[in-house]
């Protein structure tokens, strides 16, 4: 009997070439599938809720796969983690039913960007946060955000390698908070284009640094051209908080690492 299994996975992305499997095997998907196959004693392939790029971290990446290896949820978690490197760990396991699809059934996705504002670069948190040396104006950045909310063509924030069928997405919220020297930006959307968050971050930092007024964000959006926006910002501080689904599925939307971020 085949069973569909869903897992929540956390990982640090700075040691990997992104999520998606590659021939060299140095990706998060490759490491996870190798561990799952060792634990289940059979080859297993996963489908994820949202692919992340090189250097991007995941706090609640959701995957699903089908298997005839019958295990308890805690066994999938502990057994798989036994074969995973220290910077990747399964957080939870659920059995959502045979028609569940980690990507197609997601109602939305969330990202967070952690940014250090400091005259000197990060050391201990290197690779885990972005960095700016100029002081940032939070009110200006929040004013710029208002032009992006809602359903828009986000072509100005889309990489040339993006494979999405449409650049039109619904950006539901961008929240900006500060704790000491750290800024935290949270993004909630129906889906995201390739590099969309990092390109928006580049524009927000341009506004926050006083190089452009908040109204400039509306001009960038209306241009529908990548050339109109700021350069793509560093992946170091980007965290995929994960997808969210209809409540009856009962899939967790939080992991412990979410309390670790400032």
| SS3 (DSSP) at 20 | coil
Instruction: Specify which residues 10 forms β-bridges with.
Output: 89
- Angle, helices 138-145 vs 196-208, to 10°: value is 130
Phi, psi of 183 (to 5 degrees): -105, 140
Neighbours of 49 (CB within 10 A): 27
Question: Alpha-carbon distance 201 to 167, whole Å?
Answer: 18
Instruction: Specify which residues 6 forms β-bridges with.
Output: 64, 94
Question: Alpha-carbon distance 58 to 184, whole Å?
Answer: 16
| SS3 (DSSP) at 203 | helix
Which of 14, 53, 139, 153 does the annotation list as catalytic?
Answer: 53
Measured CA distances, 202 to 18, 104, 115, 231 (Å): 20, 29, 12, 6
Question: Alpha-carbon distance 200 to 37, whole Å?
Answer: 38
Per the annotation, the verdict on 188 as an active-site residue is: no
Q: Which residues are catalytic?
A: 53
């Amino acid at each position: 009997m085949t069973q569909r299994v869903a897992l929540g996975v956390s990982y640090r992305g700075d040691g990997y070439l992104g999520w998606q499997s590659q021939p060299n095997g140095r990706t998060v998907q490759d490491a996870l599938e190798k561990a799952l196959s060792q634990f289940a004693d059979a080859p297993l392939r996963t489908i994820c809720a949202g692919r992340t790029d090189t250097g991007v971290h995941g706090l609640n990446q959701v995957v699903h796969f089908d298997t005839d290896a019958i295990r308890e949820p805690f066994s999938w978690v502990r057994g798989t983690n036994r074969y995973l490197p220290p910077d990747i760990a399964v957080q939870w396991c659920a059995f959502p039913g045979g028609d569940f699809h980690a990507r197609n059934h997601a109602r939305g996705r969330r990202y967070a960007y952690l940014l250090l504002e400091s005259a000197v670069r990060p050391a201990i948190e290197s690779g885990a946060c972005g960095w700016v040396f100029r002081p940032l104006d939070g009110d200006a950045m929040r004013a710029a955000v208002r032009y992006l909310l809602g359903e828009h063509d986000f072509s100005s924030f889309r990489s040339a390698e993006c494979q999405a069928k449409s650049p039109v997405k619904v950006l539901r919220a961008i929240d900006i908070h500060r704790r000491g020297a750290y800024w935290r930006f949270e993004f909630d959307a129906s889906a995201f284009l390739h590099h969309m968050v990092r390109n928006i971050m580049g524009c927000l930092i341009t506004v926050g640094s006083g190089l452009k007024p908040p109204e400039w964000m509306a001009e960038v959006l209306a241009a529908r051209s990548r050339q109109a926006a700021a350069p793509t910002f560093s992946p170091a501080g980007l965290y995929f908080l994960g997808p969210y689904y209809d409540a009856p599925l009962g899939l967790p939307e939080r992991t412990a690492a979410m309390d670790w971020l400032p």
